Structure 1
């Protein structure tokens, strides 16, 4: 039995599983081995491959965890002897490939094949095979792998391309805890240590503080993932400059950044240069301006995610199937629908781009929600999305449904908590609902990003509950699992008992609850007024146009449609808005299935206020995938969008699943459509929780 390629950690995990015939959870293995749950899941993928043909299989079953089982009578004893006798390899296959990429991306000159093999403690043919498998990844970044006998191996690519590749590696393989936790010294994680050195972790928090202190509106509007990606890109740049790998003018490709972004970058590098005692060339400043432009664009491309008809329809069909199988009225939970629409859009993008998907909570989710996991898996398969949806994504969806099923009315709270969850909306909602259910003395104020948590004034909350390490002293927060296990509850109670909350807040607890109740009543009234104003304003500006558009010309059709909206003052730059609409259409047709109606929607800083316009076309407009639109519904909104406005637009997009409204859009009159929308939105307003 040849297990010479197995790593020391994998051998440790296998021997541990042999000693526990009843099985172990990934969290238990992680605690015993001294690594993260995420690392355990990665190792399991390799271990499953290593065990093929050994007479032993790895079983991962909900309820019992992970265990080994014999396929042949002596399989286990032979495996044990082989593990104890053999010398483990230093790296797993995945670790070896990432370290190989890191070495090539950082190298200034060709690396000899035998030198690379020696450093990774494998044979030259193994390195050659790994390079074959890595080449498609490199091509995604326009990097060319050069291999010549006697010359060596090197990556050919511009400096900006190398930086993007390093940033993507860091995004795919590092947790937020690795990036912003209070230090990393575990040499048993060579990949993590190498990547953290390549992004210059000591400088990352200085970069983050400088970026936040610029007080720009657009940085506060970025999603947590976009904000973190931008930080990684900036920190990689700092590290490359320190190592003498500066950006040259010839390396800068793509569209020139706007004058606003250039001025912002100039101010930023001025402050950062003082902090880090560095000088930034003009070319570096232009590159950073491009990073700022990319972040703003990513924020805008997220657009009206709740108005994406494809996502709304998928969420609707999924909820319908899960409700049919469980009997739980999930359709009544608007928060579930909103959460699923947002998650599904991001998930499909990850799958289509081939991004590595990890869910460190997959094993405990399967254990705690065994029946629901199976139901969601079957329901997703029935949607026939023409994509292979991995179990990791199913686990995230299960968390949304689990949170919804556990959402209950709670008694009065005594402590106010804010949540920080690295797995996104699904884990924060699950943890929030579990806290409400099992620890009603805690009121969850909401979910914030890791960088916001460090800046919220202490007087606004009593405790921070996080699923990751934070750049804060350990006595400022408690770290738990999103599943809130028994151990987590005990740790949370100990944290509460050992933490000295302000006496004033304890004495004022009763009066504070009463004040909060009164304030909440007024806030609810204010939100209702704002919501009704948004509804009236949107319907007031709704118009139906008959457009004599050019034949076989989508761009020309959009030009004419946007000219009408421009006349109304709702758009400041029709050309930029048109580009956003076309970009979204290129990602997949916006035609509603089995209709002639297409929904074109976007959010942009070039849009003045929310607007809804319907265009009946004289000539069918060509769309992606060979589709054609006879009617276009244009839904536009500014980048800075009140929550109430987003709710109204989201509700209208959900209505487009109804045949009555589609028929009206295709053939009805303006007042008829407006009346239908008004009646349905009135119903939405009256029954909104």
Structure 2
């Protein structure tokens, strides 16, 4: 193979990962050059590939692709490209590697040494450090630079670990963490981060955590569970490197939940035996805090679909895309639910400056070119002060693409479980494409990567994943969420070779499963109807004689009424949560006098919905004022049926009719409206 430049190697690696091919425009977009530059590079790549058994095919309409004389030739090319990658890094890669060096260092590092290892000047390193100071300050880490001394970080071990975890979250995918993916590990940033977080012990930590057989860990959502594993793995790695927590670290004083502290002690004992560690009391307290934070994050303190800003963004986005496409997206409840969940997290990521990765961006642009343009135009129309990258637009396109392709389920013969790395958007898109193009496959639902390894085999016929899993290769099949023609052929072969026909499974067991599912569905419907009736029976409109411009006193008076009704056990605690949420952003519904105050708390005894009309308006954030307060409260632990009802009510606030009733209607009138709408929701 001839000598190739870094850009030519980058193009070849892109083509190796896209076996169906890419257009020159897609390649140009991915690597940040012009289409003309790509065509020029192709001429040199063709000559560079001579004698390696891999040919470059260019075809109008389908793009550019690589074809090997044998699988071994393709594998050999990939290995040579990765092994021979030059030591020049992008600016972003360089900064990550500088952060890694500083976070791992036990003593000051000379700027010259950093520059030499990264093949840049001392001046470039100095400029990079200037830009990194604000990122490090988020973790209370300070860059110390002295002439003749070098550069080092000043801060606690706890904050160093937090920074390492954040880097891992921003730059590593699930596939990097749990799959084989050895080729990707040769990428310098990926390899360095996997070393920092202790990749070899991550799955050992995961097995130890699962073996504890705790119910609360099984209820964690996939992202929180994965972040917990990263934090625990980083802790193990730092202990092995003798970077111990300081006794004076605030974390050692944190024992807010005694049962969780005892659980942390049991887990620490298991880790010590499994991995041969010696863990101090400070480390046990650190584990206890990580457990507590994970449980808090997964349970959440807010009710779904009740963030006013998120609801408004989703409502306007759906309207804008519907207007441009003529497609009735507003009728799709699943689309709305998925967007609310996604957009809330997306806005948070954008405001925090978190790096957004979307490995499916190129195929999304290719398969949904028109919809991508519409989504970009719609987002630009409704967002102010937010620079939304194409990666985020790609995720939104997956939600709308899934909605466009949503069809009635046909007859099924095989039961499949989906595992995806990009959240609900990719799993829904893949599920719908499967139901449309391969109706013999029934998608039972989505599973996280750690659940997939533990689902009883009798419950499904096959596992379909978009990422590498910690399972034997014959136990699952890896496909693209876009379900290309190549994927379909691959899936059919897998079914023929690896999956037992549904008819060969015991018919009695299938019948039992069907009956059990029907009974569970009836129970769920009964619970849902009971929640609707209970919530409406307890709904009341109160006239509150509050003091002018006194939000805190107004909330206290409202909660005092709810305390007497038995809905709230600690009014002061709930009031503090409501005020804290308001300080994060006004709860006033745009263009109304109605504010929606909501929270979930252990100090709330039962779900409640109450309306308070105020004698005097109260000030909110951003200079707004509220004359009516709708208070929606729920316990921390809440059945999914209760969440569904409260979510549906909050979604109704996107329309004007309910808001007008809340502002001026009578109690019975509001109850009747809610009852009619919730009856439709129940019927659906």
Residue equivalent to 1:443: 442
**Residue 201 (structure 1) shift:** 1.2
Q: Whose RCO is larger (CA < 8 A, sep 6+)?
A: 1
Residue equivalent to 2:404: 405
Q: Could you tell me which runs of 5 or more consecutive residues in structure 2 were left unpaired when the two chains were aligned.
A: 43-59, 66-84
SS in 2 for 1:633: strand
Residue equivalent to 1:394: 393
Residue equivalent to 2:118: 120
CA contact (8 A) 1:339 1:400 kept: yes
CA contact (8 A) 1:7 1:92 kept: no
The answer to whether the aligner puts 1:28 opposite 2:15 as a matched pair is yes
CA distance in 2, matches of 1:66, 1:573: 65
CA contact (8 A) 2:209 2:267 kept: yes
The answer to whether the aligner puts 1:593 opposite 2:590 as a matched pair is yes
Deviates more, 1:552-561 or 1:596-605: 552-561
Change (3 A) 1:204 1:572: farther
CA contact (8 A) 2:415 2:462 kept: yes
**Residue 517 (structure 1) shift:** 5.5
Deviates more, 1:324-333 or 1:446-455: 324-333
SS in 2 for 1:146: strand
Change (3 A) 1:43 1:63: closer
CA contact (8 A) 2:109 2:150 kept: yes
The answer to whether the aligner puts 1:682 opposite 2:682 as a matched pair is no
SS in 1 for 2:305: helix
Deviates more, 1:167-176 or 1:303-312: 303-312
Match of 1:541 among 538, 542, 562: 538
CA distance in 2, matches of 1:136, 1:557: 39
SS in 2 for 1:250: coil
The answer to whether the aligner puts 1:488 opposite 2:491 as a matched pair is no
The answer to whether the aligner puts 1:299 opposite 2:277 as a matched pair is no
The answer to whether the aligner puts 1:624 opposite 2:621 as a matched pair is yes
Match of 2:670 among 673, 676, 681: 673
How do residues 459-608 of structure 1 correspond to structure 2 at under 5 angstroms?
A: 459-501=458-500, 505-508=502-505, 519-608=516-605
**1:604-652 per-position Cα deviation (integer Å, ceiling 9, x unaligned):** 3333321111122233222211212222111112233222222211111
Change (3 A) 1:205 1:191: same
How do residues 195-274 of structure 1 correspond to structure 2 at under 5 angstroms?
A: 195-252=193-250, 256-258=254-256, 259-274=258-273
Residue equivalent to 1:332: 331
CA distance in 1, matches of 2:333, 2:159: 42
**1:119-145 per-position Cα deviation (integer Å, ceiling 9, x unaligned):** 222221221122122222112222111
**Residue 185 (structure 1) shift:** 6.1
Change (3 A) 1:302 1:414: farther
Change (3 A) 1:297 1:518: closer
RMSD: 3.1
**Residue 96 (structure 1) shift:** 1.7
**Residue 468 (structure 1) shift:** 0.7
**1:496-546 per-position Cα deviation (integer Å, ceiling 9, x unaligned):** 122152x7x523577777666555544443332222111001111112223
**Residue 204 (structure 1) shift:** 1.2
Residue equivalent to 1:415: 414
**1:430-458 per-position Cα deviation (integer Å, ceiling 9, x unaligned):** 00000111111111000111111111111
The answer to whether the aligner puts 1:647 opposite 2:644 as a matched pair is yes
TM-score calculated relative to the size of structure 2: 0.87
CA distance in 2, matches of 1:312, 1:553: 27
**1:25-49 per-position Cα deviation (integer Å, ceiling 9, x unaligned):** x9635358x9xx9xx9999666549
**Residue 679 (structure 1) shift:** 2.0
**Residue 403 (structure 1) shift:** 0.7
**1:78-102 per-position Cα deviation (integer Å, ceiling 9, x unaligned):** xxxxxxxxx9543332222111110
Change (3 A) 1:43 1:100: farther
**Residue 481 (structure 1) shift:** 0.7
Residue equivalent to 1:23: none
Match of 1:103 among 92, 101, 104: 101
SS in 1 for 2:248: helix
**Residue 596 (structure 1) shift:** 1.4
Alignment length, in residue pairs? Answer: 643
CA distance in 2, matches of 1:592, 1:255: 40
TM-score calculated relative to the size of structure 1: 0.87
